Amino acid sequence: MAPDTAVSTSPFPTDLSPVAPYDALLLFSFGGPDGPDDVLPFLRNVTAGKNIPDERLAVVAEHYHHFGGASPINGQNLALQKALVDELARRGIELPVVWGNRNWEPYTRDALSAAYADGARRVLALVTSAYSSYSGCRQYRENLWASLDELGVDVGLGQGEHPVAVDKVRSYFNHPGFVQANVDAVTEAFESIGRDARLVFVTHSIPDTMEEASAVSGATYSAQHLDVAATVAAAVGERLGRPVTWDLAYCSRSGPPSQPWLEPDVNDHLTALAADGVQAVVLSPIGFISDHMEVAFDLDTEALETAAELGLVAVRADTVGTREPFVRGLVDLVLERAALARDAEANGPHPVTADVVADAAARRVPEAAVGDLPPYRSVCRPGCCQMRAGTPTGIPAACSTDPWS
């Protein structure tokens, strides 16, 4: 117990709004086509400067056309935006929530521009990806920097001068809210399958080079998933009253076949499990927060078809979507990031910007995490999550101690 005379170091002073210094929250997502005419321009946006073969693009365009040319992701982001607004209101917190995307309308720049016109000068970005890697973190931060640059020019500033300052909520893969919502969803899937089953966690594959580069600010992309998977599986086992056997598999590989990506592919893995005598599987898409195209097509269409062909009984667990523990956790993360910002302003750079904060007690603001890994950094390190280790992209990125790395 701290002595009574101790100076209060509460990260949540009562004289300030709990979200100060922020005046807007940016729900920051990938984006997806709204109709058939958007599919090709959207895919061009996504793959600009990437080494994605034309054949792969034609295949992915078909996935979208299979669903009428519209991605489910935009409706899901609107639902999450509404859930965040409701949860903030329930707590009596005033903070407008704007929605912007990297690859489709509403674009990041336009969302920031609207927030700026409404008076916002300090914006907090919440990315719809729970894990850290080039695709899940840095690429969003690069888009943020470019968008802020354009907005600066719009309002009469020069290139490199930003009218709004933006911070980012840390990668939240091991936050208790995200983990709890996954535990609930997987438990429900086991209850619905009503028999013993292998638990197969699934996430987006990435190139091996991107996996290696993801180590700069902490555990790698695959290590982050393995930690969450172990935590979720253990909690589900406790709920069911028996241990659960699990694996991690990958979906949605692209890139040329010559380039190594994380494996096993979920379809290959199901084939191997069936050959081993496994009869039933629960697929848990822990790599994704909503049922967007990777889930709707790569899992619900393709992987479930593979399972059926193999004679496997298979159920796909829900993504966290707008589940209550998840949304509550996101708002907790917003308050935590605001407390970190206030603390940094009052007491100098926060330890989150230092190299190692292994000891939870040494943190001036408590940051919740479950599993074996520490909470992820709120401010990315120089060179964090490049496309490949040791090869700077040369593209500036916001929300880092070194934007130009």
45, 47, 81, 301: residue in contact with ligand HT9 (rule CB under 6 A): 47
Size of the site for ligand HT9 (CB under 6 A): 26
> Within the chain, what is the greatest distance between any pair of CA atoms?
69
CA atoms of 402 and 405, how far apart (whole Å): 6
What is the nearest approach in angstroms of ligand HT9 to the Cβ of residue 182?
15
Q: Provide the CA 305 distance to its chain's centre, in angstroms.
A: 27
Q: Which residues pair with 261 in a beta bridge?
A: 207
Q: Provide the CA 66 distance to its chain's centre, in angstroms.
A: 26
3, 48, 50, 54: residue in contact with ligand HT9 (rule CB under 6 A): 50
- Of 147 and 187, nearer to ligand HT9 (C-beta) is 147
Residues 24-43 that bind ligand HT9 (CB under 6 A): 30, 32, 43
What is the nearest approach in angstroms of ligand HT9 to the Cβ of residue 54?
11
Q: Which residues pair with 27 in a beta bridge?
A: 99, 126
Compute the CA torsion angle 337, 339, 341, 344 (nearest 10 deg).
-130
Q: Which residues pair with 380 in a beta bridge?
A: 400
Is beta strand 198-204 parallel, antiparallel or unpaired with respect to 280-284? parallel
What is the nearest approach in angstroms of ligand HT9 to the Cβ of residue 219?
15
Q: Is 46 in the site for ligand HT9 (CB under 6 A)?
A: yes
Q: Is 136 in the site for ligand HT9 (CB under 6 A)?
A: yes
Q: Which of 309, 261, 304 is nearest to 285 (CA)?
A: 304
- Of 169 and 293, nearer to ligand HT9 (C-beta) is 293
97, 115, 148, 206: residue in contact with ligand HT9 (rule CB under 6 A): 206
The DSSP annotation for 379-400 comes to SBPTTTT-SBTTB------SSB
CA atoms of 283 and 318, how far apart (whole Å): 9
24, 38, 71, 398: residue in contact with ligand HT9 (rule CB under 6 A): 71
CA neighbours within 13 Å on the CB side: how many for 302?
Answer: 19
What is the nearest approach in angstroms of ligand HT9 to the Cβ of residue 8?
39
Which region among 16-24, 234-242, 251-259, 264-272 touches ligand HT9 (by CB under 6 A)? 251-259
Contact 71, 130 (CB under 8 A): no
Contact 133, 250 (CB under 8 A): no
Q: Is 171 in the site for ligand HT9 (CB under 6 A)?
A: no
Instruction: Determine if residue 263 is labeled as part of a ligand binding site.
Output: no
**Among all chains, which residue has been given the structure tokens 């101790």?**
6
**Burial (CB count within 10 angstroms: exposed 0-12, middle 13-18, buried 19+), residue 156:** exposed
- Of 133 and 378, nearer to ligand HT9 (C-beta) is 133
24, 27, 60, 278: residue in contact with ligand HT9 (rule CB under 6 A): 60
77, 101, 132, 133: residue in contact with ligand HT9 (rule CB under 6 A): 133
When CB distances to ligand HT9 are compared, the closest residue is 254
20, 52, 157, 357: residue in contact with ligand HT9 (rule CB under 6 A): 52
- Of 71 and 378, nearer to ligand HT9 (C-beta) is 71
CA neighbours within 13 Å on the CB side: how many for 158?
Answer: 1
What is the nearest approach in angstroms of ligand HT9 to the Cβ of residue 177?
17
135, 147, 180, 182: residue in contact with ligand HT9 (rule CB under 6 A): 135
CA atoms of 240 and 229, how far apart (whole Å): 16
Instruction: Determine if residue 294 is labeled as part of a ligand binding site.
Output: yes
**Contacting positions for ligand HT9 (CB under 6 A):** 30, 32, 43, 46-47, 50, 52, 56, 60, 71-73, 128-129, 133, 135-136, 204, 206, 252, 254-255, 287, 292-294
Which residues belong to the annotated binding site?
A: 71, 140, 204, 294
Question: Binding site membership for Fe(2+): which residues?
Answer: 204, 294
